[in-house]
Each structure stands twice: as C-alpha cells, then as structure tokens.
Amino acid sequence: MPENISVLGLGLMGSALADAFLTAGHRVTVWNRTPGKADPLVAKGATAAATPAEAVEASPLVIACLLDYPSVYEVLHEVSLAGRTLANLTTGRPAEAREAASWATERGADYLDGGIMAVPHMIAKPGALILYSGSGAAFDRHEQALAVLAEPRYVGEDPGMAPLLDLAMLTGMYGQMAGFLEAAVMVTSAKYPLKEFTTNLLIPWLNAMAALQPAWAEKIEAGDHRTEVSNLEINRAGLENLVRAFREQGVKPDLLLPMKTVIDQRVARGLGHEGLSGLVEELS
C-alpha cells in the first residue's frame, strides 16, 4: 500500500532513501537545506517541500537523515511533530539518541532512532541492514515501509540501543581493518603479493577466527576467562615477538601496540593464565 513518507536531508544517504521509497511506489515529500538536491527526486515523482514544517505536515512517517544531531534540531526546532513518527537515521551517539527521543516525544512524536549499516549504493539491496530502537509501536506501524530501505531490525525500546550497536559494529570493523592494514604493511615490506596473501591466506584465517567468536561471547557473558587454547602469557610473548618482527622489517606496529598494552596490564595483575577474553575486564 502506498504511504505518505517525508525525507528531510538529501545528502548521499538521504537521497538514496528517498529514491528507494519512490521506487517502491510511496508518495514521497522531500526537503533539503540546499534545494537543488531535490531536483532528481522531483523528476522521479517526489514533492519538494518549501520548508521542514511543510514536509512534516505531509506525512505520518518522517525520516531525518542529516549530518548530525545538532542539524536535526536546527531543522526541526520550530516544527510541530504532533502525531508524527520521527525516524532519525542520522548517525550519533547513544546519549544523543536518548536526548532526541525525549525532545521529539515532548513535541508529540513517536521516536525511532536508526543505525544504517550500509552505504548509499547498498540501500534497497540485499545485505543492507538498518537497526531501529525506540517506540516499538511506531516500529510495528512502519516496519513494512521501512523494509523497502534495508532489512529493518528492531533492537529495543531504549532509543540509544540502535546507535550503540551501530558503533559496536563499526568498532569490530575498525579492529578488523587495523589488523588488515598491519598485515598489509608486513607483507608488502617483504615484497610478497598482497592480493594473493589477502585472498588465499588472510581471509580464510579470519573467517576461521570469526567462527570462534560466538563461543568467546558466551565466555565473556559468563565471566569465565579460562582457556584451553592460548593464555594471556602466551599471547603476551606472541605480541612481543610480532612487535620485534615488525621493527626488524622496518615497519611500524602502531595499530597493534594498544592491544599489547592491555595484555601487559592483565598479565602484570597476575592473570596471565586467562584467555584473551579476560581483556574485557581490563576495559570495563
């Protein structure tokens, strides 16, 4: 069933979201600070609102996809949100999401916060995921429309949960990227072909390690850091060896050093018998 949906913010992501709604047959109203960005969407059937208030007035579901939370307040501070669902897909921190939820609720809106786990060209394609948290009733009401953008995954009433999980997933990505970059510098320092290393050696190894992570998660949840694989003392020696090897190759292990620091701390506390999962206690 076609629905009225408004999209505030037509940057790369907001435009992709509006485009996906249009392609799915919804009646889409768009607004952007710089009006020209609405033109390609208007050519496809969207209505351009002259003001944010006009866009909010047009639809029960209002998507905000702006630079940051201050820009969301800047756009909506004088607009009545009564009876609307505000789905804020702007990237932010959990505390910002909770504050925005109170702010929107005080103005009469149901609030959903969203974490987009995709880049613009992935929107409306398999593999794209958007995490939502906040009003469960609003999510149920709009789930079908939101599913046009990406798989919608509701993660709870706490509005901060979607951004928190978004940031946790990005953390995993940055950790993996740090490992890849360090591996790359080591491999290229020896003039070994990096693509061949990445495809045939690194990726299968990382996949095998990733398969162990659910078991690690169970141990962390249980606070049980015993290991039958390799304890922190062994890992401390392993990282010491890695750092020396990097320096002997004439390259820097700088992205690995923070991990070594935390392992050293844990071992210095006399907990070298634990597995790597024990490091979460040092970080808590």
Q: Which of 5, 13, 100, 101 binds ligand FVH (CB under 6 A)?
A: 13
Q: Which of 29, 59, 85, 90 binds ligand FVH (CB under 6 A)?
A: 90
Verify binding: residue 9, ligand FVH, rule CB under 6 A: yes
Q: Return the structure tokens found at 150.
A: 């990406």
Among 178, 195, 6, which Cα is nearest to 86's?
6
Q: Which of 49, 62, 63, 65 binds ligand FVH (CB under 6 A)?
A: 65
Write phi, then psi, for 3 (nearest 5 degrees): -125, 160
Verify binding: residue 32, ligand FVH, rule CB under 6 A: yes
Verify binding: residue 42, ligand FVH, rule CB under 6 A: no
How far is the C-alpha of 126 from the C-alpha of 118, rounded, in Å? 10
Q: Which of 120, 136, 179, 272 binds ligand FVH (CB under 6 A)?
A: 120
Verify binding: residue 37, ligand FVH, rule CB under 6 A: yes
Verify binding: residue 66, ligand FVH, rule CB under 6 A: yes
Q: Are 178 and 125 in contact (CB under 8 A)?
A: no
How far is the C-alpha of 41 from the C-alpha of 50, rounded, in Å? 14
Verify binding: residue 170, ligand FVH, rule CB under 6 A: no
The alpha carbon dihedral of 256, 258, 259, 265 has a sign of: positive
Q: Are 38 and 54 in contact (CB under 8 A)?
A: no
Q: What is the dihedral of CA 234, 239, 244, 249, to 10 degrees?
A: 130
Verify binding: residue 145, ligand FVH, rule CB under 6 A: no
Q: Which of 100, 112, 116, 279 binds ligand FVH (CB under 6 A)?
A: 116
The alpha carbon dihedral of 23, 28, 31, 37 has a sign of: positive
Minimum distance from CB of 195 to ligand FVH (Å)? 25
Q: Which of 42, 67, 95, 215 binds ligand FVH (CB under 6 A)?
A: 67
Residues of the shown chain interacting with ligand FVH in the complex, contacts defined by CB under 6 A: 9-14, 32-34, 37, 65-68, 71, 74-75, 90-91, 116, 119-120
